[in-house]
């Protein structure tokens, strides 16, 4: 287990590292592969972690299984084996990659959320279960950027686009910054997706005046999108941009785009009020259903 001095050194190193959590599952192994490849592209180190979950149970009581002789030793042995396998996986992707591993007594969710304070990026495997999965828990509570690895990303061409969801909120501004940089690093085009409403047109068609000027709405929303992208186009002239404005259904459109993208970027929270919460509910849906890795941005993007 990591000592206090080791933890201090690790936290210092994490500011430039990509952190990936593993439990030995196929989804986690896929996440390790994605994280290793991305770390190599970005010239960063890879920090692989495994959380044992030796703390209290959900009711706040001590875990009774931990009092059984040999249980902790057995869990630690399994955890070390999982980390060794993950490190071997990373090195099959990038043989000369700088890789560190760490075993923690914390549960996996708490471990990754804590490390997200310092890490450049946290990576987790996408879950196929519907409730209680680590991917949604981490993306909901992390302090920085989290990538949930989904889909057959290795089969995507290098020319596949990076797609970003934009609604004009502060978190979508952070997502724009991250998306432009990801597209630039990958030499990929960028598709900017903006939807006027979270509601379907059918759901709001009965409201007086809502659908009286769809052409005017489209024109106005195109102006909004152009304004959001203008400064970033100047900062990243190498990135070609395709703008997509839709009247409704941001979740559906982004999910559809994920079938051909190499990465989808969204903020963790978005617009409120009558327009709903585009990048709150949308990020959760994509974490569950996207066909490619999803980058969820919570705070200002760390450039570099």
Our measurement of the distance from residue 8's CA atom to the centroid of its chain's CA atoms, rounded to an integer in Å, reads: 25
Which pTM does this prediction carry?
Answer: 0.83
pLDDT tens over the chain, length 304 residues: 443 334 433 444 567 899 999 999 999 999 999 999 999 999 999 999 999 988 654 455 556 656 666 878 888 999 999 999 999 999 999 999 999 999 999 999 999 999 999 999 999 998 754 444 788 889 988 999 999 999 999 999 999 999 999 877 777 888 999 999 999 999 999 999 987 655 555 544 455 555 545 555 566 666 777 777 888 888 999 999 998 888 766 888 999 999 999 999 998 864 443 333 333 578 888 998 999 999 999 877 665 6
What token pair was written down for 250?
């941001």
Domain identity same for 209 and 262: yes
Specify if 105 maps to a domain: yes
Domain identity same for 212 and 184: yes
* Strand stretches in the chain, DSSP E: 17-21, 45-51, 99-104, 121-125, 146-149, 162-166, 190-195, 241-246, 263-267, 294-297
- Report the CATH number that the domain containing residue 61 is assigned in CATH: 3.40.50.620
Three-state secondary structure call for residue 59: coil
Task: Let me know: does 115 contact 19? Beta carbons within 8 Å.
Answer: yes
Number of folded domains that form the chain: 2
Domain identity same for 189 and 236: yes
The per-residue pLDDT for 213 is 56
Query: Domain boundary residue among 149, 170, 188?
Result: 149
Specify if 103 maps to a domain: yes
The CA distance from 41 to 37, in Å, is 6
Domain identity same for 145 and 234: no
What token pair was written down for 130?
């519907």
Three-state secondary structure call for residue 62: coil
Tell me how crowded residue 79 is: count the other CB atoms within 10 A of its CB.
Answer: 24
Which residues constitute the domain of residue 85?
4-149
Q: Phi first, then psi: give them for residue 289, nearest 5 degrees.
A: -125, -10
The per-residue pLDDT for 284 is 84
């Amino acid at each position: 287990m990591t000592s206090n001095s080791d933890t201090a050194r690790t936290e210092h190193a994490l500011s430039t590292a990509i952190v990936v959590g593993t439990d030995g599952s196929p989804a986690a192994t896929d996440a390790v592969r994605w994280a290793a490849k991305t770390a190599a592209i970005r010239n960063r180190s890879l920090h692989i972690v495994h959380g044992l979950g030796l703390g209290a149970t959900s009711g706040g009581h001590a875990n009774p299984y931990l009092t059984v002789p040999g249980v902790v030793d057995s869990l630690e042995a399994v955890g070390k084996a999982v980390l060794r396998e993950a490190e071997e996986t990373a090195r099959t992707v990038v043989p000369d990659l700088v890789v560190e591993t760490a075993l923690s007594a914390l549960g996996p969710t708490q471990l990754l959320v804590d490390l997200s304070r310092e890490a450049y990026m946290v990576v987790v495997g996408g879950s196929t279960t519907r409730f209680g999965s680590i991917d949604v828990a981490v993306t909901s509570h992390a302090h920085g950027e989290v990538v949930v690895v989904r889909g057959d990303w290795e089969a995507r061409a290098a020319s596949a686009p990076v797609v970003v969801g934009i609604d004009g909120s502060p978190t979508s501004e952070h997502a724009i910054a991250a998306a432009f940089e990801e597209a630039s690093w990958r030499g990929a085009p960028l598709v900017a997706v903006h939807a006027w409403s979270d509601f379907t047109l059918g759901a709001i068609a009965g409201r007086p005046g809502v659908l009286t000027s769809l052409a005017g709405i489209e024109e106005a929303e195109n102006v909004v999108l152009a304004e959001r992208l203008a400064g970033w186009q100047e900062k990243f002239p190498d990135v070609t941009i395709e703008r997509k404005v839709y009247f409704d259904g941001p979740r559906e459109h982004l999910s559809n785009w994920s079938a051909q993208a190499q990465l989808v970027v969204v903020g963790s929270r978005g617009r409120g009020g009558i327009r709903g919460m585009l990048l709150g509910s949308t990020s959760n849906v994509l974490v569950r259903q996207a066909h490619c890795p999803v980058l969820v941005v919570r705070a200002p993007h760390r450039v570099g």
